[in-house]
Amino acid sequence: MSILDTIANSNRRLVAEQKRTRPLKEVQEAAVATLGHQMDFPFEKALRGDGVSLIAECKKASPSRGLIAPNYPYVSIARSYEVAGAAAISCLTEPRWFHGSIVHLRDIAAAVRIPVLRKDFVVDPYQIYEAREAGAAAVLLICAILEEAQLREFMLLARSLGLSALVEAHGAEEIATALRCGAQIIGVNNRDLRDFSVNPHHAARLHELVPPGVIFVAESGIHTGEDVAALMRDGVDAVLVGEALMTAPDRTATIRELLGR
């Protein structure tokens, strides 16, 4: 079993436990009570700006790197990303391997004015309602852990709650699935989530499979301004950068260098 499947199965067990302590109906009602706020899909708008938009990630740990940030003042980090010019923030909420929490997302969303993505391994509608309640503007949906019918269902649910869906694919077949389901934002991960190997050119090679009008995001393996400039020449709309920012001695300077400012 791959680490991706292991994390997905862990999340299924976690959601089942959460439902016992806080029923789905309660989370649904709390999510619906927030409607009226951020119903204009600000995440999509942010990624359709001029040039390449940066999604800057808050991440304490990962399966491939272990503990990345022992000191993790996530709100301060998110605010520094906003000031430096990030278009959106990605917040890891998976607790076991990434040391994330929905509380991190809630606190960040309340502290910044740019949209926040819930970065997690979404396997149940519960997590989408939970994201809406916490103030997210978007959720990550990973093709590799969802059946096509599930992906379509989750995308429709997200849309009905005013949430954008960043649909992550790793190959041509998954991109085709995402497009059949009506994805408006497709992310191609340069990191293979089955073994965590990274090919920094993978996303650029698959960009031609995504039609104009669908936002294309390159994820992982992006470290320098030259990397971003090359992706911009390839027509990429946005980049998601995590470890390069979380390990940088000066995150503000790194963002400005990535964006060529």
Give the active site residues: 57, 59, 119, 168, 189, 219-220
Residues ≥6 apart with Cβ < 8 Å to 22: none
Instruction: Say whether 124 sits in a helix, a strand or coil.
Output: coil
Take residue 17 and report the two structure tokens written for it. 């436990």
Residues ≥6 apart with Cβ < 8 Å to 110: 135
- Euclidean distance between CA atoms 234 and 91, whole angstroms: 27
Q: Is the sign of the CA dihedral 69, 132, 139, 162 positive or negative?
A: negative
In a 13 Å sphere around the CA of 207, the CA atoms on its Cβ side amount to 23
Angstrom CA distances, 153 to 31, 41, 98, 150, stand at 17, 18, 26, 5
Strands 66-67 and 53-58: unpaired
- Euclidean distance between CA atoms 35 and 16, whole angstroms: 25
